[in-house]
Amino acid sequence: MDFKIAVLPGDGIGPEISKQGVDVMTAVCEKFGHNVTYKYALCGADAIDKVGNPFPQETFEICRDADAVLFSAVGDPKFDNDPTAKVRPEQGLLAMRKQLGLFANIRPVETFKCLIHKSPLRAELVEGADFICIRELTGGMYFGEKYQDDDKAYDTNAYTRPEIERILKVAYKYAMKRNKHLTVVDKANVLASSRLWRKIAQEMAPNYPEVNTDFMYVDNAAMRMIQEPTFFDVMVTENTFGDILTDEGSVISGSMGLLPSASTGESTPVFEPIHGSWPQAKGLNIANPLAQILSVAMLFEYFDCKEEGKLIREAVNASLDANVRTPEIQVEGAGKYGTKEVGEWIVNYIKNK
């Protein structure tokens, strides 16, 4: 199989973890006889500094013409701390999603047995947690009409029936492949947009009689994820709620550096770690590359290359079991490994398997 991959390293620790993801993908392609080519493109603060646009037209064209995008992270404190900034790195991420039609964000939340002790939750609560958050990605407040002056501001949380139906279809597809349990998260007791979500979900549920569909207010869902994360199988929700809940879910595993994601829709799919750019760690060789590497596994699995994805997951688990870990998840007294060393260990595992 031939792969054309657009690589967007971005900001902060992005270039460091991006290299590990590319190296792993190259090693897997060599092992399984695939051809892979990479095209690098600017995004985020790096793109603003160089061309004044967080998602330049050239970057869009490279992404559009690729089979998949391997994305890392965007964000920089000089924009975070300036409320008057007209252009921000995160606008590049939103532009990429909108221009590529990436309306479905798929975020698996799973635990690793050897890292249960790193979770902020008690072991008996978190052990066995394994669910998927499906977040609508191109609607809601992030893209609705906005206004701001010195005394008033608003964001419009608008959704249409087609937008809701298409993301619910994705959610039901995943639920059918897993344990046939779908939780629709909304705030239908307060928000009109949520009432439309619930109405459409109730209309669609009879089309999937094998799936147990339940409904949960977002505040209750946030509590339930802490009290009983094993309750969930597939969760689907709108853009803003999804952003918050998926970040909450990400820490269940013990580190944000462990979980990948995929954004899919009308055009080229994007695969990325769920964490941010962590600018304070830039160049220190301490960032965990596993989320980026597992994003490569999701990329292969998206193209039905199941053995390739399985090998990457095996290599990641083997590195954890061997205590080849970055500092935030390393056990006391074990060896010291950085971003580069963890990536190299996993590449060597793949080559020698």
Q: Indicate which residues carry an active-site annotation.
A: 142, 187, 219, 243, 247
Q: Which two tokens stand for residue 216?
A: 């949960």
Residue 89 burial by Cβ neighbours in a 10 Å radius (0-12, 13-18, 19+): buried
Separation CA 168–CA 171 (nearest Å)? 5
From 1, 9, 59, select the one nearest 277 (Cα to Cα): 9
| CA atoms of 129 and 123, how far apart (whole Å) | 10
Q: Which residues pair with 147 in a beta bridge?
A: 154
298's torsion region: left (phi>0), alpha (psi -120 to 50) or beta?
alpha
Written as six digits, the tokens of 3 are 């792969």
- How far is residue 291 from each of residues 33, 53, 126, 275, measured CA to CA in Å? 24, 27, 19, 8
Distance CA 348, CA 243 (A): 35
DSSP 7-25: EEEESTTHHHHHHHHHHHH
